[in-house]
Amino acid sequence: MTEELNMTIADSAVTRLVEMREQQGKPNLLLRVTVLGGGCAGFKYQLDFDDKKEDGDQIFRDAVVTDEASLPFLQNAEIYYETNLMGAAFKIRNPNAASSCGCGKSFSTKM
């Protein structure tokens, strides 16, 4: 039996995606989160905007899409949108990350 893969998408991320859909006239726009090998800590996040679903993709809250290879690295992660004095961006809070670099875009895993 396989464990159900789960990811939390905060209201802030969903709200920002809805705004972007309206601004760009793209009703199917999604935030694509991919985990790749590399970066200064071993793995890195790649965040893109996409309006299509590929085979094996999983969509969360009709806002975030990820591929099946990235899913285990994102198990129980939270995707949110943050606005502060330094700017605004989608962020990832990942319990699978043993450590991350200062930029917040790469991490090493506990797995």
DSSP string over the chain:
-PPPP--EE-HHHHHHHHHHHHHHT-TT-EEEEEEEE-STTSEEEEEEEES---TT-EEETTTEEE-TTTGGGGTT-EEEEEEETTEEEEEEE-TTEEEE-TTSSEEEE--
Residue 81 has pLDDT above 80, yes or no: yes
Averaged pLDDT, 56-81: 93
Q: State the pLDDT confidence band at 37, using cuts at 50, 70 and 90.
A: confident
Residue 110 has pLDDT above 70, yes or no: no
Averaged pLDDT, 52-58: 92
Higher pLDDT, residue 5 or 12: 12
Decide: residue 47, CB within 10 A, 0-12 exposed, 13-18 middle, 19+ buried. middle
Higher pLDDT, residue 78 or 96: 78
Domains of the chain: 8-109 (2.60.300.12)
Averaged pLDDT, 80-92: 93
Averaged pLDDT, 81-93: 93
pLDDT score at 86:
87
Sheet with 87-93, side-by-side order of all strands? 8-9, 78-84, 87-93
Averaged pLDDT, 67-87: 93
User: What radius of gyration do the chain's Cα atoms show?
Assistant: 14
pTM (two decimals): 0.83
Per the CB < 8 A criterion, the answer to whether 7 and 79 are in contact is yes
pLDDT score at 1:
37
